[in-house]
Amino acid sequence: MIVPLAEDMKVTDVKEFRSWCAKTTMLLARKIDNKCVQSHITKAVTEIGNGLRPFLTSEKPNTWVELQEIVDIAVSLDLEVRKSRAIFEFKLPCDPITTETYGFPYDRWIMESQEKFPKQKNGMMVELVVTPYLMKTGNADGDAYDIETILSKSISICTETRRKIITA
């Protein structure tokens, strides 16, 4: 779904803006103190850990080390994505009318089944969206903003597949 440009906005405006964003990211990346970034990452890991701790059923010795690695990789990936002139967006599938994230038809173009669940088909009703999908608009060179590519599909569970598992 391409969002139309405002009447007074041109494709060249989008290209120039994305180019500016990418160049700014590259310039700032050279100037940022890695110690400062790491202190923010450590703070974020602590906050995430505190939020997750009540939900842990058992804590492995390396749980927090693994969380630190995940956040480090996410920050590195975010930097690389921001250097691109393409537009990257995480989107949550939803009912186009109510915007609810359940009770709408499954769409195989943007969704896939949760691992170990039976394969889902178009027309089944989504009961739970587990993850959003990642969409790229345009390319790294700042062209083709009329082309959208799904890089990672949403994981969802449909009522019909869940019922099959329960009754099996």
What are the pLDDT digits (tens) for 63-118? 888 999 999 999 988 888 888 888 888 999 988 888 888 888 888 899 988 776 77
- Token pair, residue 35, equals 């110690």
Task: State whether the Cα torsion 160-162-166-168 is positive or negative.
Answer: positive
For residue 1, being part of any structural domain is answered with: no
Same domain, 91 and 167: yes
Range of the domain at 138: 86-168
**Residue among 94, 159, 167, 100 at smallest CA distance from 125:** 159
For residue 2, being part of any structural domain is answered with: no
Report how many domains make up the chain.
Answer: 2
Among residues 84, 115, 135, the one where a domain terminates is 84
Same domain, 54 and 98: no
121-159: pLDDT as tens digits: 777 888 889 999 999 988 888 888 888 899 999 998 888
SS3 152: strand
Same domain, 45 and 15: yes
> Does the global pTM surpass 0.75?
no
